[in-house]
Amino acid sequence: MNSSTWGALVIPALATIRPVFAAQVVEPSAEIPPAHPTFRLFRYDEDYSALADPRLRTDLFDPIKYVPLSATDPKTYLSFGGELRLQPESYAPPDLGTTPVAHDDYLLTRIEVHADAHFSRHLRAFAELIDGVASGAEVEPPPNQEDGVDLQQGFVDFGDRDESGTSWFVRTGRMEMGFGSYRLV
C-alpha cells in the first residue's frame, strides 16, 4: 500500500475515534468520589484518611485500617496491619553417597504487625514488630532463619502535611528505606 491509501484508511478511522473519547469526558459539576487507598511498598507510606468517607469502606479490613481518634478531624486516626509469610523448607546435607540421606523438612514463618497513629496533621508515630520462627526443624536452623520478636521499625514524625501533597517533616527513630533499585537499608 502506498501512503495515500494509508491516509485514506487512517484519517476516517481517527475521525471516528475522536468523538468516542470526547463523549467520555466527565462534566466538572459531577461529583467524583475519592479512590480507595492502595497498598504501598513501605507500609508507613500508606494514607488511610480517605476511609473517613463511609462510601469507601468496602474492604473486609477497612475497620482496622481506619480507626478514627477524632469526630471532627478525619486526619486523626489509627491504622493497624500485618503480614504472614509461610515458606516450606527441605534440607538434605551433601554426603556424596557415603551415608544415608537425612532430610530435614520444616516451615519458616514470618509474622509482621504494625500500627500507624496520626495524632494530628503535625504528629505521627509508626511501629512495626516482626517475628521469625522455624517450626518442625530437627536440626537447629541457621541464625538467619529464626529470630525472636524484634522492632523492625519505630519512628515519630513531626511536621506539616497539607492537602496538596506537599509536606515537610522531621523523622526520628528506626525505619526501612529504599536505596538505589529498592534494596532495603
pLDDT digits (tens, 9 = 90+) for 17-48: 444 434 444 444 456 666 777 777 788 888 88
What is the C-alpha to C-alpha distance for residues 158 and 147, in angstroms, rounded to an integer? 32
In tens, the pLDDT along 150-173 reads 999 999 999 887 666 667 889 999
Sign of the C-alpha dihedral computed for residues 35, 38, 42 and 47 taken in this order = positive
Residue spans of the domains in the chain: they are: 36-184
| Amino acid residing at 9 | L
In this model, does residue 14 exceed pLDDT 70?
no
Global confidence as pTM: 0.69
DSSP state letters, 63-113: HHH-EES-SS-TT-EEEEEEEEEEEEEEE----TTSS----EEEEEEEEEE
Neighbours of 170 (CB within 10 A): 8
Alpha helices in the chain (DSSP H): 3-23, 62-65
